[in-house]
Amino acid sequence: MSQKKSPIVSWGIPIAVILAAVLTLILSGCGAGDTGKSTLQEMKLTEDNHQRLIKAVPPPRLTTSAERINIKRRLERWNDENKLSYIYLIDKGIIVANFVVKGKVSSVNSKLTTQQQIIEVKQTEIRNHTQVVESPALDGSYGTNGDAIFFFIANGAYVEWSGTYLLFDKPMTLSQKPLLLASDS
């Protein structure tokens, strides 16, 4: 049993594109005037051109992903609380300090719990709706913690830095002496 195809689908325009165009026209206050017609014509031309390009230069079917392999290797390498790494903190091209890091360098904005939550909002006596809101941090506060990283050095001391840095998993030889020399005591 064959199904009839919509004339819109036979043009090669996805239904989602048509619905988006109609919604855009309705929300922008445009009726079915010339602007609406030309917008639909341009959308069709764009979609037709894109379909032609997909056929002429199809995307490759990859058998593996170097990007995914790199991400996997990075996660495996740095997800070790005892891993030693070497960080060089830089300000205006000058090495301010360098440390041996034990564990992972993290963002001060990392969280242990979700950043958003869904709450139910009472709209009327009959209907309610849900809304996505920011979750508080575990300490009950809201917002970000700035743009910085933090880490723990080999002696357990906490370091936070809001500048540029280089991180290596092998020590590097410095060509300049750091401005700040920290002792591990």
Chain segment 49-58, per-residue pLDDT in tens: 999 999 999 9
Q: Any idea which of 15-19, 81-85, 88-92, 94-98 has the lowest mean pLDDT? A: 15-19
pTM score of the predicted model? 0.60
Q: pLDDT at position 185, please?
A: 44
Strands of 14-155 (E only): list them.
Answer: 84-91, 94-102, 106-107, 116-122, 128-134, 149-152
Give the chain's mean pLDDT. Answer: 83
Instruction: Show Cβ contacts of residue 107 under 8 Å, excluding neighbours closer than 6 positions.
Output: 148, 149, 150
Q: pLDDT at position 68, please?
A: 96
Burial class of residue 30 (count of CB atoms within 10 Å of its CB; 0-12, 13-18, 19+): middle
Residue 34: pLDDT band with limits 50, 70, 90: low
**Taking the domains of the chain in order of start, what are their residue ranges?**
7-56, 82-109+144-185, 112-139
Q: Any idea how long the chain is?
A: 185
The token pair at 24 is: 């855009």
Closest among 102, 98, 100 to 80, alpha carbons compared: 102
Question: b or e along 98-112 (b: 16 or more beta carbons within 10 Å of the residue's beta carbon)?
Answer: bbebbbbbeeeeeee
Q: pLDDT at position 25, please?
A: 58
Which tops the pLDDT comparison, 35 or 109?
109
Residue 32: pLDDT band with limits 50, 70, 90: very low
Q: pLDDT tens-digit profile of 135-179?
A: 888 888 888 888 999 999 989 999 999 999 999 999 988 888 888
The token pair at 156 is: 């357990």
The token pair at 72 is: 């996997």
